[in-house]
Structure 1
Amino acid sequence: MSAPRRPVRVLVCDDSAFARKVLRDVLSRSTAIEVVDTARDGIDALEKIATLRPDVITLDLVMPNLDGLGVLAAMPPVDAPRVVVVSSSASESDLVVRALEAGAITAIEKPTALATERLYELAGAVERAVLLAAEAKVHPASATPPVTPAAPFALPRHTRTKLLALGASTGGPRAITRVLAALPASFPVPIAVVLHMPVGYTEAFAARVNETSVLDVQEARDGLELIPGRAIIARAGMHLSVVREGERTVCALDVLPLETPHRPSVDVLFRSAAKLFGADVLGVVLTGMGNDGLAGARDLVAAGAQLIVEDASTCVVYGMPRSVAEAGLAAAEVPIDAMAGEILARIAAGAER
């Protein structure tokens, strides 16, 4: 008989005493979680991380003395706790995106920035986020090599690939940022990206990636044209499909279908790409929880398209890529820092066919 699993040890960090009390209260209700202490600011948090060695830290971003981004930058390179960002409002969207790029596992939004009983509405979301984070693999920002942009890539005279479609979830902001930052400005096909993020954050994410990439990176909107060198990030809360509008390929946004676990859904993007371009799609599934993208991957492969997935060694959560690989749909499993090179090689090979 196996030994019972020990609770996830959590440190709560927030400059609001009331928020600390609420988070301690709601997390302590779970038998799977043990709140080991609270911290009032970033300096206090780093001291308690060093002595208590929690599994997970819930982290406010706007704090005196040392803010949340400072805590993430100062995390130990080995055995760092997983970080769940607890943000005050969508007004902190840029800070949240920066935190996710710096290695935070996920983010949840407080229902109010005020010290009111409404903060107890966080209960279910914060418990789920902590338990998800506890299962994730930590890749500290300090241990991640800088992105090296790809060398100029000559636009093939005849390129078979008409679309690069990427999907990701937990750990996806950093993974997508690294892939897009490593692609050249002369990238010969349009890119469509679905990432599971809270509503209100994808615009800030697209703007951040646009700053670090030589590509034109934009949040999706109806009718936005997909052109070579442009990467389109699906808007949180809306499915992204690719459709034909006359001679142009454009974005189409819709809340339907409603029954998908995620909106946007990687499956919806992949299926629309398979319908429109058939074999002329390169699909990529990056780190993420669950199996969103599996059904769409089946459609792509049935149409003759290629699928590559992120290797387990670099995934924060090896869920989405694993489901595709175990179904026998992946042409290759590639570590994240080799993904851009693999994409370029496959597009070049397709151009030669």
Structure 2
Amino acid sequence: MGTPIRVLVVDDSAFARKVLREVLSKQPGIVVVDIARDGLDALEKIAEHHPDVVVLDLVMPHLDGIGVLRALPTTGAPAVVAVSISDAESELGKKALAYGAVDLVQKPTSLATDRLYELSNDLVVRVLAAAQTRRSMAPEMEAPAVQPSLHSTSLVVVGASTGGPQALTRLFTSLPRDFPVPVVAALHIPAGYTDALARRMDEASAVSVKEVTDEQELSPGLVILARGGTHVRVERRAGRPYACTEEGHIEALHRPSVDLLFRSAADAFGAGALGIVLTGMGDDGLAGARAIHAAGGRLLVESESSCVVYGMPRCVREAGLAIGEATIDKMSELLLRHVA
């Protein structure tokens, strides 16, 4: 018997996860390595288990199935079989296939009933076919050696948490006055602290450092710090970059969210986005880093030796997304080499 097909099941419904896991586990040659409750959980489990196939619900909280597809790397990613109440001809189904799902299985019902078992045969057939397709393509999908990007950097986004105020200060105060692109940073910090922090950084820096204001146009040499307790995203309007605040309800563990900032950079600037993940606890920024990587952008991380907590940068490094790392004292030098 050959190597078993390793499958990750992703669905926000506990009953659906039970049914999908049961159906697939009964099939010889298939092993369900884990389950995930939503898109963010899925990206963590994919990085942990490296499954051959992901069975992916499309409508989920926190990060939906389309968000997962967009965050997957362009090479070496698992094959994805979408499972949805929508069919392949629906707008959602077409979008899933456009973003890389190899197939779609329609759920017979959105309710937690035994009717879900009706998809059993169809699901197994399509998972087997997806795994075969992925394995037959494996020699062509091996990631090439990292090469310098052919795209110039349009925007730098930075994320930090524990130890972040000191790390950001050391990074921004070492940037030259003629730094050629805008910088936007998200730091896990309570409301009420970032204005004073930005002012101190600005006084000590050659670049201009400011706390974000909504609908703020960005320019080279301007560093924007997200307001504590408020999300920030970046947009492109008529070719010009803007930072926008978001105070409404967004499902994110941290506010500001590094993932939200990084994903918006990937959406708006694609291969022109460069992300930097500095010291911090947890994994905020990992999903966003995947989005930047998938869009052709680049990621740098702080080295363990200078981190107060080596959590956030470690997640990005171990996921194979970073093209370079440096201590915080050397980060500006590394950054300048990649800003072209």
Scaled by the length of structure 1, what TM-score is found? Answer: 0.53
* CA displacement 1:317-341 (0-9 Å, x = unmatched): 0010011111111112211111000
| Residue correspondences, number | 191
Residue aligning to 1:343: 335
> Counterpart in 2 of 1:122?
none
3-state SS of paired residue (2:305): coil
Question: Is 1:323 matched up with 2:296?
Answer: no
SS at match of 2:157: strand
Amino acid at match of 2:253: P
CA distance in 1, matches of 2:247, 2:223: 21
In the alignment, is the contact (CA less than 8 A) between 2:236 and 2:269 conserved in 1?
A: no
Q: Structure 1: how far apart are the matches of 2:164 and 2:152?
A: 27
- Going from structure 1 to structure 2, the CA distance change for 1:207 and 1:159 (only over 3 Å counts) comes to farther
| 1:295 and 2:287 aligned | yes
Per-residue Cα deviation, 1:247-287 (whole angstroms, up to 9, x for no partner): 42111111245320101100000000000010111110000
Shift of 1:178: 0.5
Give the deviation of 1:297 after TM superposition. 0.2
Matched, 1:304 2:283: no
Please point out which of 167, 179, 183 is paired with 1:175.
167
The verdict on how the C-alpha distance between 1:257 and 1:325 changes in structure 2, with shifts beyond 3 A counting, is farther
Deviation at 1:223, TM superposition (A): 1.4
* Corresponding position of 1:261: 253
Shift of 1:244: 2.2
- Deviations along 1:129-166, whole A, 9 cap, x unmatched? xxxxxxxxxxxxxxxxxxxxxxxxxxxxx981100110
- Deviation track 1:163-222 (CA, whole Å, cap 9, x = no partner) reads 011000000001000011111000000000000111100111110100110111110011
Q: Distance in 1 between matches of 2:223 and 2:186?
A: 11
Aligned residues: CA RMSD: 1.4
Between the aligned partners of 2:269 and 2:216, the Cα distance in structure 1 is 18
> Helix, strand or coil: the match of 1:290?
coil
- The answer (yes or no) to whether the contact 1:278–1:304 under 8 Å persists in 2 is yes
Which sits farther off after the overlay, 318-327 or 158-167?
158-167
Aligned counterparts of 2:303 and 2:152: Cα–Cα separation in 1: 26
SS, match of residue 217 in structure 2: coil
Is 1:241 aligned to 2:230, yes or no? no
Normalised TM-score (structure 2): 0.55
One-letter code of the match for 1:264?
Answer: P
2:272 counterpart (262, 268, 280): 280
Q: From the superposition, tell whether residues 256 and 328 of structure 1 become closer, same or farther in structure 2 (CA, over 3 Å).
A: farther
- Taking the aligned partners of 1:288 and 1:320, their CA distance within structure 2 comes to 5
